[in-house]
């Protein structure tokens, strides 16, 4: 039996970023209430947060492979989010898979975006896999993040055609353009409804 949707009035968004900050810029341009930007590595998104005078948290990931303590790292992320009283977590190209404790601390309140039409092509290499498989249509998915990476309930999708001669870079850039719009629109809808699902 499915659980009832979690109702809330999210007014404090925490963005988890590892990349160039284009999703964060789109959120800020739309006036979304971002109250924290958290990074797991030095990245260009930090400059976006600095220009916007946003609080930031640098929760550096210093170990990889078997040495990585996902539970302890996730606890540090949760602590940083709690310090800024974050209500809704929006992953924006965050490069570290977090443990189940995040989803327990923020039930039905962790969003992610993915550069493919899930459930097709989950994982880190979605665009490369899309091209290798030879499909004619790709796209982006905004979904509720869960401990099972790229398997949460789908909130929004939009198709992006694959054109002859596409490379991983050209296709990914077109997907990212659509992704920024779809992610912002989905978050705006959540804020209006007061519930994710």
Residue 49 has pLDDT above 60, yes or no: yes
CATH number at residue 96: 3.40.50.170
- Which pLDDT does position 63 carry in this prediction? 82
Q: How far apart are CA 59 and CA 23, in angstroms?
A: 19
- Which pLDDT does position 73 carry in this prediction? 95
| Mean pLDDT on 20-34 | 96
Q: How far apart are CA 135 and CA 6, in angstroms?
A: 36
Active site residue 114: yes
Among the options 114, 125, 143, 172, which is catalytic? 114
110-150 confidence digits (pLDDT tens): 999 999 999 999 999 999 999 999 999 999 999 999 999 99
Asked if residue 4 is part of any domain, the answer here is no
Task: Give the position of tokens 């705006």.
Answer: 188
Q: Which of 107, 139, 164 is the last residue of a domain?
A: 107
| 102 and 118, same domain (yes or no) | no
Name the DSSP class of 4: P
Q: What is the span of the domain harbouring residue 24? A: 10-107
61-90 confidence digits (pLDDT tens): 888 888 889 999 999 999 999 999 999 999
**pTM for the predicted model, two decimal places:** 0.91
């Amino acid at each position: 039996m499915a659980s009832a949707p979690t109702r809330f009035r999210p007014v404090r968004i925490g963005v988890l970023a590892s990349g160039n900050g284009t999703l964060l810029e789109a959120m800020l341009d739309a006036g979304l209430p971002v109250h924290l930007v958290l990074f797991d590595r030095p990245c260009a998104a930090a400059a976006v947060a600095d220009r916007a005078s946003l609080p930031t948290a640098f929760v550096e990931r210093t170990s990889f492979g078997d040495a990585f303590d996902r539970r302890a790292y996730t606890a540090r992320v949760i602590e940083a989010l709690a310090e800024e009283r974050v209500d809704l977590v929006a992953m924006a190209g965050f490069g570290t898979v977090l443990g189940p404790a995040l989803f327990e601390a923020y039930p039905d309140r962790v969003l992610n975006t993915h550069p493919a039409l899930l459930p097709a092509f989950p994982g880190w290499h979605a665009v490369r896999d899309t091209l290798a498989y030879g499909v004619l249509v790709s796209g982006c998915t905004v979904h509720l993040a869960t401990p099972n990476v790229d398997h949460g309930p789908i909130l929004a999708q939009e198709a992006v055609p694959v054109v002859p001669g596409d490379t991983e870079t050209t296709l990914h850039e077109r997907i990212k353009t659509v992704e920024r719009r779809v992610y912002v629109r989905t978050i705006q809808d959540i804020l209006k409804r007061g519930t994710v699902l």
